[in-house]
Structure 1
Amino acid sequence: MDRRQFIGAAGLAGIALTGSEAVAQGRRVGRSDVERFRQRVADLRRLDDFSGGSSVFPLVEDEIGTLSSLASRGSYTEEVGRELLSALGELYQFASWTAFDAGRLEQARQLALMAANAANQAGDRTLGATALSELSYLTASSDQPAEGMAMARASLANAPLDVLPAVRVVLADRLAWACARVGDARGVDHALGVSEDAHDRRDARAVEEPDTVYWINRDESQIMAGRCWAELRRPEKAVPILETLTAPYDDTHAREVALYSCWLASAYLDAGEIDAATTTARRAVQLSRNTASPRTDTVLMTTLAAFDPHIDVPEVNELFQM
């Protein structure tokens, strides 16, 4: 295993470490160390469900520094080295997500690319596919959506033929979002159909799945569908989905509910339902105060700006005073 993959890994990712990198020279590294890193990133993913990127990202920084230091100085077998590189890819991928949520889009894209590279060099094709799809999602969410769609198509086309259905769901959902960002309604329909088919195959046979896709289920895919139709300004499709599927999430998931409320409020506005839009946006404002998510703040500001033509409506005026 080429140790150069680990030396300076944190610095290459643009991460300023906040924790100690001190690791004994020559320490023997085994599978238990790999599992500790994998469990740590799994725990941080759950923490992110209830918090936000700004608070979680520094914790991921520490883990990347610790793993890269251990792997660059320790001794291990070739197989353990590949597993360490795959674990580093997982950390890069999650760091990418938290950086995005913290409002650091360019750093997030760099981290997603590094995740894909690490996964591919480790021979972890599943992680490589999800990392590339994450990069596509970030790019589609930027001012370069066409490039994001090309990446999303590549991540789906290049996934292993036997890729797990749950992973194919993620790839297809992100392709749907990329299509929505470029105004391709037919592409959205096709990608959502691929996602639905993968869900059916997932339900038909229970298998062990990587923790990187622990969050995906039919509700999440339906919410993505609602987002896509809202992005395409098709409220007749977006509203019924988002109205139904925001209900299962309670306020402990403040970021998610705030985001869903923003998308639903936008769809209500497009449908001309000002009262419903105002009520929903008010909830988003209230919940956003309990998150450490600059991304949520940005989405909320965009949503509120769409209310400007209705400033003379008393309820809208009250919304702006919150």
Structure 2
Amino acid sequence: MVVLKHPDRRVFLALSTGALIKIANQWASIEPQRLSGVLNGRRVDAALLAWLESRADGLRALTNTNAPECTELVHALLRTTIGLIDKATYDHTTEGRLHQVAASAAQCVGWLHFDQGEYAAAQRHWIGALHAAHTADNRDLDAGILTDFAYFATWLTPPPVMTVSLLERAHSRTTSPAARALLHLRRASALATLGGASPTSRALIAAEHDLERAQPGTTPSWAAWVSPADLSIDAGRCWLTLGKPQRAEQSLSDGLRMLTSSRQRTRSLVLAYRAESAMGRRNFEAAATDARSALDTALTTDASRCIKLVDDAVKRITSRRSHPAVQNLHAYVRIVIPGKPSRR
């Protein structure tokens, strides 16, 4: 099994999806291993530790809406925390809290790399985050990182059946209703990609039920962003994957109306999904309109992952160049993305 003590080491190559999920499943089935011994250096005092924890929570919230601006801050927090773990002196309780900060920061850094299409770096940081969360014995955070692994697998390729098993295992490691709702949504996406309409529907219903049970103070920070908008958006994506464009469009439109204005990365993806659902209904004008809005929004986020998904959707739509609205979209793309080759 791969063990990464320090999340910022650059020693791992990109893993295949199957290997990544296998590693995550191994982590999910073992108990935390505590670091042994006392390190030489200065003692971590209560004020410094509280400051680090506060910064970790604050930066996690900011990276959901201002990722490019927060990149250096999150990296600095991770480097600082790892340095303290390596060189400082602390007691057993402080050790766990430091590893929890490192896990949270490494998870955020993983997402920053993922959004830029730097998948090997994302994997390395999530593996490190998973190890740190285990060391801290934080099962909620542990479940959240396992969820990231599963999302990664579903995003890139048709996920292995093991992805569903991983999410079920992660579900048992958290008692938070909102966190469980997110796990159900991830499982629904995996099931949809695997072609299971009935299991997907059941997972979506379970997600809605759990989110309705969420109470203030019961949600870990990694799941704090989950909202009714995400339920509708993920449901729409599932129905689109399952070849039900009309049902997908209704769910995506509902989600788009509820989505907060700060979540522009998500908005760009929803618009791209809705454009594809319109294409499935042969509504070329609606597809072109949403695709253009998706592209404009994605370009403002500076997130390579979002831009690539939207660009792929636009390519599929502009392949039907016979409709005037699609011709206009194709011309617009060549203007906003200079040097984009013409597809003849």
TM-score interval (norm. to shorter): 0.7 to 0.9
Distance 1:179 1:57 in 2: 33
Distance 2:11 2:200 in 1: 32
The one of 250, 254, 275 equivalent to 1:240 is: 250
**Alpha-carbon spacing, 1:207–1:291, altered in 2? closer, same or farther (3 Å):** closer
8 Å Cα contact 1:180/1:231 also seen in 2: yes
**8 Å Cα contact 1:261/1:280 also seen in 2:** yes
> What residue is the counterpart of 2:44 in the other structure?
29
1:137–1:152: 8 Å Cα contact kept in structure 2?
no
Whether 1:285 aligns to 2:285 is no
**Is the alpha carbon distance of 1:157 and 1:226 closer, same or farther for their aligned partners in structure 2, counting shifts above 3 Å?**
same
Moved more, 55-64 or 219-228: 55-64
The counterpart of 2:62, out of the listed 41, 47, 50, is 47
Shift of 1:299: 0.6
CA distance in 2, matches of 1:189, 1:13: 41
When residues 5 and 36 of structure 1 are mapped into structure 2, their CA distance, relative to the original with a 3 A threshold, is: farther
Query: What are the superposed Cα offsets for residues 149-171 of structure 1, whole Å, 9 maximum, x if unpaired?
Result: 52343233354476111111111
Unmatched runs of 5 consecutive residues or more in structure 1: 15-24
**Separation in 2, partners of 1:57, 1:180:** 33
Label 1:207 to 1:55 Cα distance change in 2 as closer, same or farther (>3 A): closer
Moved more, 207-216 or 289-298: 207-216
- Tell me the residue number matched to 1:185: 197
State the 1:252 CA deviation: 4.5
Amino acid at match of 1:29: V
CA spacing shift, 1:200–1:271, aligned 2, 3 Å: same
**CA distance, structure 1, for counterparts of residue 153 and residue 297 of structure 2:** 27
Which aligned pairs between 1:93-172 and structure 2 lie closer than 5 A? 93-143=107-157, 145-146=159-160, 149-160=161-172, 163-172=175-184
Contiguous gaps of at least 5 residues in structure 2:
13-39, 333-344
Q: Could you say if the C-alpha distance between residues 158 and 49 of structure 1 is closer, same or farther in structure 2, counting changes exceeding 3 Å?
A: closer
Contact kept in structure 2, 1:236 and 1:271, CA below 8 Å? yes
1:261 aligned residue: 271
The CA distance in 1 between the partners of 2:52 and 2:95, in whole Å, is: 13
Q: Deviations over 1:10-49 (max 9, x none)?
A: 22577xxxxxxxxxx7222134333323322333233333
Instruction: Report what 2:87 is aligned to.
Output: 73
Separation (CA, whole Å) in 1 of partners of 2:246 and 2:312: 21
| Distance in 2 (alpha carbons) for counterparts of 1:245 and 1:86 | 33
**Whole-angstrom distance in 1 between the partners of 2:121 and 2:195:** 26
- Whether the aligned pair in 2 keeps the contact of 1:9 and 1:65 (CA below 8 Å) is no
What code does the residue aligned with 2:266 have? E
Q: CA deviation at 1:174?
A: 0.8
Percent identity for Structure 1 against Structure 2: 23
CA-CA distance at 1:223 after TM superposition: 1.0
- For the pair 1:87 / 2:101, whether they are aligned, the reply is yes
Q: CA deviation at 1:144?
A: 5.0
- 1:11 is matched with which residue? 9
Q: Distance in 1 between matches of 2:10 and 2:95?
A: 19
Corresponding residue number in structure 1 for 2:28: none
RMSD: 2.4
Deviates more, 1:250-259 or 1:87-96: 250-259
Deviation at 1:259, TM superposition (A): 1.3
Q: 1:254-298, CA deviations, whole angstroms, 9 ceiling, x for partnerless residues? A: 322211100111111111111111111111122122111001111
The answer to whether the Cα contact below 8 Å between 2:252 and 2:270 also exists between their aligned partners in 1 is yes
2:236–2:247 CA contact under 8 A, matched in 1: yes
Q: Does the 8 A contact of 1:152 with 1:178 survive in 2?
A: yes
Which residue identity lines up with residue 138 of structure 2 in the other structure?
D
1:113 Cα offset (Å):
2.4
* Count of aligned pairs between the two proteins: 304
TM-score w.r.t. the length of structure 1 is 0.86
Q: Is the 8 A contact 1:51 1:292 kept in 2?
A: no
Q: Is the 8 A contact 2:100 2:133 kept in 1?
A: yes
- 1:132, 1:151 within 8 Å by CA — same for their partners in 2? no
